[in-house]
Structure 1
Amino acid sequence: MAEQGINKRKTEHIRLCLTDHVEGVNKSTGLEGISFIHNALPEINFQDINLETSFLNKSLKAPFLVSSMTGGSQMAEEINKNLAIAAEERGWAIALGSTRALLEGDKHQDSFLIRKQAPTVPLIANLGAVQLNYGYGAEEAQKLVDLTEADSLYLHLNSLQEVIQDEGDLNFEDLLPKIEEVCKKVTVPVGVKEVGFGIDGHVARQLYDAGVSYIDVAGAGGTSWSQVEKLRSKDPLRKAAAEAFNNWGIPTKDCIVSVRSELNNVPLVASGGMKTGVDAAKAITIGADIIGFARSLLKAATTSSEEVMKVMEQIEFELKITMFGIGAKNLDELKNTNRVEIMGRSLMEDKD
């Protein structure tokens, strides 16, 4: 039987992200403006470089997160299983795609119930914040946490995606007090993420003051969900309008800098266009704590957990090489390095 409704949409999303050009046109993460100053005498043993950190009160082997991608379709079942197995093996956190489908029917529940494959790493459930204006609240959010055995809940913000989506939910009015209510009542930390258009410092401050525990900026420079929905849309008006927004969003670099300047200590996840361990290193030097990868892992996840682990191992290796190249033996030293240039301006003099 063919999939319908939300389940069909989830399958279409996966296929488009695998096969079509869905990145914003002429939009980059901004990380290309950051470069490292090679240290010819690093004075460390490469084998001693340590990527360990913690997130959501759990240990990670590396500062990485499998970002929210999918769930709620037959295709997603195998993908999420492979991602979960790999995350557990490599010691990465993992976030589910929107788990609303888990409450709306019993089809493909196994695509969300991956705790068995990832028993020890941080697991994050996920609900669109706009659903708080469509009959969902703290009770439903808690149910998602309980069903998935999650350590945390993402509330995602996706206004541009919803307005281009044929089936979009468009009432984003007065969400902040409802987000605050969820933060107060749900028994796990609540984070907020965008879906590829970015969160700035002002919005991050509003969310933090409402009780949000951490921010995932999910900036521009990677997958553009207005482009994904344009490719799905049957509405000529929406398809045409989406073209005007293929360069929309705040670059990931600018999001990190803006949020960190406003909130010095909030845990900060940087996702949005992350492709390599070098990208991760750059994001960490300007204030990120955890780096999220999504589409970089998706193709491998359609094949096997072993293929996902190969991609993860490469990203980890690239981060270690970057750290070796500047003489940083752990993440604290990477965060505080002065061997970095931002838009041609060296931090060596600033930090000497």
Structure 2
Amino acid sequence: MAKINQRKLDHINIVSDDAAIDRNKFYFDRIHLTHRALPELNMAEIDPAVTFLGRKLSFPLLISSMTGGKDEELVKINRNLAVAAEAEGVALAVGSQRVFLSDRAARESFALREYAPTVPLLGNLGAVQLNYNVGFADCEAAVQVLDADGLYLHLNPLQEAVQPEGDTDFSDLRNKIATVVQQLKIPVVIKEVGAGISAQDVEHLLAAGVKYIDVAGSGGTSWSMVESRRSENPALGELFGDWGIPTPVALKMMKPFRHEMNVIASGGIRSGIDMAKSIILGASMCGLARPFLDPARESADAVRQVIQRLKREFVTAMFLLGTGRVENLKGKEELILNENWN
């Protein structure tokens, strides 16, 4: 598993050092909201708190999956994220735990509950690995090491297709996902990694019993571009660098299914305004990863500063929309003034 650990180090270094990896599409900027000059609110009394996976959060932020492994740098990143998440009352999802399954030396980077005892923690495995000898016992092990409240099974066909050592047998995954959903005692969250989830995908996932979906659309970090930097033939990954469904569009696709599932928005969210727009489009939570990577390599306090900035921006947006509670913001598309997708 040394190759997997090295790949994780490669990934964070590429994402951190190569500005072109973050596509900065700013798709949310095409959505304009209705400003309230008379909000009829005391901003100091706005309550942005939500409940996620049975735990109360200060506002609907999820620090999305980044990394994990036995290298000291990877351990440091995850600990800093966990300490900051606990201090600020937000959720945290770890990066893929596949490395831990075959190299228990990576356990330390995923044993985070002591650093984040009260906030939701999510484990993470690639769904495609269910076709490559990862079974239910492995899913349980990933959950147990983290004492997780939920388990991400991520879908990344584009990344695997352009990755030099990619696993591309995605056949019959719906049935295997259904088995994990039925047997695992905590929620399974299906997540893309930057190319979005379509309505047709959701129909299959609902049939498999899935109740939580992270659309993880395009617009932010491109894992196709990341893998292009690791390939001797980068042209394929670069060609598909902007492939996928933009996150706001993916959220709109979820509208017919909102009463049946919890939707998490991620992919190119970079501000509290983007978070507010995501909630208006029906999301229950908003995930960000790239904005936390460099701060996490520095300290937990640096991560906290980013969280605090996002919360200030989110609360300010709520105030200017005349909305004092998140539940009064969710799905309120009448707050959208106009959209420009030309």
TM over 0.5, shorter chain? yes
Match of 1:342 in 2: 338
Q: Distance in 1 between matches of 2:252 and 2:194?
A: 16
- Post-superposition shift, 1:98? 0.2
1:80 is aligned to: 78
Hey, what does 1:244 align to over in structure 2? 239
Task: Quote the Cα distance in structure 1 between the aligned partners of 2:228 and 2:72.
Answer: 23
Give the CA deviation at 1:74: 2.5
User: What residue is the counterpart of 2:54 in the other structure?
Assistant: 57
In 2, are the aligned partners of 1:29 and 1:219 still within 8 Å (CA)? no
Task: Describe the shift of the 1:29–1:208 C-alpha distance in structure 2 as closer, same or farther (beyond 3 A).
Answer: farther
Equivalent residue runs for 1:164-179 within 5 Å: 164-179=162-177
Question: Structure 1 22/171 Cα, relative in aligned 2: closer, same or farther at 3 Å?
Answer: farther
Task: Indicate which of 35, 40, 47 corresponds to 1:43.
Answer: 40
**How big is the shift at 1:264?**
2.9
What is the percent sequence identity of the aligned residues?
42
Matches within 5 A, 1:252-271: 252-271=247-266
Match of 1:15 among 13, 16, 32: 13
Q: Give the counterpart letter for 1:255 in structure 2.
A: A
Deviates more, 1:246-255 or 1:72-81: 72-81
Q: 1:92 aligns with which of 90, 93, 103?
A: 90
Q: Which stretches in structure 2 are left out of the alignment for 5+ residues?
A: none
Question: Please, what TM-score do these two structures have when normalized by structure 2?
Answer: 0.95
Q: Deviations over 1:245-295 (max 9, x none)?
A: 122010000111102223434111000011100000011111111000100
Q: Is the 8 A contact 2:15 2:22 kept in 1?
A: no
Residue of 224, 227, 230 corresponding to 2:228: 230
Deviation at 1:134, TM superposition (A): 0.5
CA root-mean-square deviation: 1.6
Q: Which of these residues, 19, 29, 32, is aligned with residue 32 of structure 1?
A: 29
Q: Is the 8 A contact 2:15 2:21 kept in 1?
A: no
2: CA distance, partners of 1:290 / 1:281: 10
Distance 2:31 2:286 in 1: 16
Say how many residue pairs are matched: 339
Checking the alignment, whether the CA contact within 8 Å between 2:127 and 2:173 is kept in structure 1 is yes
1:303 is matched with which residue?
Answer: 298
Residue pair 2:162, 2:228 contacting (<8 A) in 1 also: yes
- Give the partner amino acid of 1:152: G
* Inter-partner Cα distance in structure 2 for 1:337 and 1:197: 23
Instruction: Give the alignment's TM-score, normalised by structure 1.
Output: 0.93
Write the distance in 2 (CA, Å) between the matches of 1:243 and 1:81: 32
**1:202 Cα deviation from its structure 2 partner:** 1.6
* Counterpart Cα distance in 2 of 1:173 and 1:337: 37
Q: CA deviation at 1:313?
A: 0.3
Answer yes or no: is the 8 Å Cα contact 2:258–2:282 preserved in 1: no
- Return the alpha-carbon distance in structure 1 between the equivalents of residues 117 and 31 of structure 2: 37
Query: Given the alignment of the two structures, is residue 115 of structure 1 paired with residue 110 of structure 2, yes or no?
Result: no
Q: Following the alignment from structure 1 to structure 2, what is the Cα–Cα distance between the partners of residues 176 and 102?
A: 24
Among residues 294, 315, 320, which one is paired with 1:320 in the alignment? Answer: 315
The 5-angstrom pairing of residues 153-172 of structure 1 reads 153-172=151-170
- CA distance in 2 between counterparts of 1:78 and 1:344 reads 42
Instruction: Name the CA shift for 1:263/1:328 in 2 (closer, same or farther; >3 Å).
Output: closer
SS of 2:190's partner is strand
Separation in 2, partners of 1:149, 1:339 = 39
Question: What one-letter code is carried by the residue in structure 1 that aligns with 2:338?
Answer: I
**Cα 1:116–1:24, aligned 2, differ >3 Å: closer, same or farther?**
closer
Aligned to 2:324: 329
Per the TM alignment, residue 24 of structure 1 is displaced from its structure 2 partner at its CA by 6.4
